[in-house]
Amino acid sequence: MAPSGCRRFSEHLPDMDLAFNLNDEPRVVVPWERMAELQSRAKLPPLLSSDKLANEWSTDRETGWAPLEPADQTLETMFADKSFQRIFDPYVVPACPPGSKARSQRIWDRRNLCLGCLRPHSMGQFPTDWGVSTDICHQPDLADLHGLLLSPASFKVTQELVPVFSQSSVSVFNDIIFPSPWNYVDKISYGPSPEHPDAKYSDKENTLFWIGSTTEGVSNQGKWKGMPRQRLAHLVNNNTYNYVSVLLPTEEPKTYSYQVFNGRAPIQDLGLSASVSITEPIVRCRDNDCTDQKDEFSPGGRVEFQDHWKYRYLFDSDGAGFSGRFLPFLQSRSLPFKTGLFRQWLDSRVTPWLHYAPIDIRLHGLWSTLAYFSGVDATVDGNRRIEMRRHDIQGQWIAEQGRKWAETALRKEDMEIYFFRLLLEWGRLTDDRRDSLGFTLDS
């Protein structure tokens, strides 16, 4: 939230010191055993009736608190700088429960899917539980499938439970999430115009669109090959060696099966349309990884953000942190396809398959999802006919539900309310009379 967003409610808050994380990456990850110990010590007091709760902050809140030492004069810090390093084993694994797969398994086969990692949150290629799909602890293969876990650009971390407010986080981290200023101050926004109209769903190009830069993590020794943005560009544009499976109709009525094709077949043979581009220059890379990515992706120029609305399907993926594009995509008449691990303030307010189409971080279900919505009418292997009708009604319905919900529950006012309630709770917790405080607005 920008400071301007706090003005409407700041009069109701006490004087507080808050630690905001200005980096994209989260900062706090406490080992599971330590967190369990702290939780066992915590005691919930009996709830007081509303008529016994005080509606005013303590006047001596600062008593007993040592004065803050200026950060530039502090000789010691609890945060360790572990940027450009793999963080899965030293930080993620200790934060997972003892019986989790992250504690007991390592996936060395990087060419094939870890089916055991998928089962808890998927039906075939399709995510059925988005919250579980972003939980790292049952998916040890994610150690090699996301820039944050492979080589974060800025990772100054602590394993102590300290209150740090961050714009987004991932499953095992303990940062306190607040609404990002990115969307509140319209650093990126939904703004169609006569020059860039947002046409009706049925009038848009029947194409999946994504364009972006290599900002997810810092690549050396080929780590870019595991990052979702680069994997997406390879899957769509350069997948000539790996086979892919697509869920398609069979000759039996109302039955479907996964059919295997070479990597270029979804576009060349099935006629699916996807425009995916890496922009220049290639960034966050070292040594040969810069030239290798340039050779692989042939990066091009940027486009005006408002150009997105001409496409029916808009792909959204993590960058170094959460994606600021997701909210504008929801506000549009296009259908968002979303993948990623980062969680933000609005996650509990949106529902996959109701407001957007979820895509597993491994991207193995991308072609099946696109085929379902965009349809297939093709002849493969010279004589085999494959037909699947376009599911325009379903796609338009999801796009419209997401658009309506964004206008209802994801407005700037909703960001303000979320942040206000968050700061009210923080103010209560840092007040010595915390168990007897209860906020009410004067009528």
The C-alpha atoms of residue 205 and residue 277 are separated, in whole angstroms, by 17
The amino acid at residue 48 is L
The C-alpha atoms of residue 404 and residue 410 are separated, in whole angstroms, by 10
pLDDT tens string 406-419:
999 999 999 999 99
133 has a pLDDT exceeding 80: yes
pLDDT tens string 245-282:
999 998 888 899 999 999 999 999 999 999 999 999 99
Residue of 215, 285, 216, 272 whose CA lies nearest to 239: 272
The C-alpha atoms of residue 171 and residue 184 are separated, in whole angstroms, by 24
Least confident of 270-279, 306-315, 375-384: 375-384
What residue has token string 């979820």?
358
The mean pLDDT of 158-165, rounded to a whole number, is: 96
Tokens of 202: 């049925």
The C-alpha atoms of residue 374 and residue 349 are separated, in whole angstroms, by 27
The C-alpha atoms of residue 414 and residue 160 are separated, in whole angstroms, by 31
Q: What is the pTM of this model?
A: 0.95
User: Which band of pLDDT confidence, cut at 50, 70 and 90, is reported for residue 305?
Assistant: very high
The mean pLDDT of 135-144, rounded to a whole number, is: 98
- Please report the domains of the chain, with CATH numbers, ordered by start residue: 3-182+415-436 (no CATH), 186-412 (3.40.50)
User: What is the sign, positive or negative, of the torsion defined by CA atoms of 295, 300, 305, 307?
Assistant: negative
65 has a pLDDT exceeding 80: no
| Residue 44: predicted pLDDT | 76
pLDDT tens string 212-252:
999 999 999 999 999 999 999 999 999 988 999 999 998 88
Distance, CA of 307 to chain centre: 22
| Residue 6: predicted pLDDT | 84
> What's the whole-number average pLDDT of the chain?
94
Q: Are 410 and 23 in contact (CB under 8 A)?
A: no
Bridge partners of 379? 385
The mean pLDDT of 28-57, rounded to a whole number, is: 89
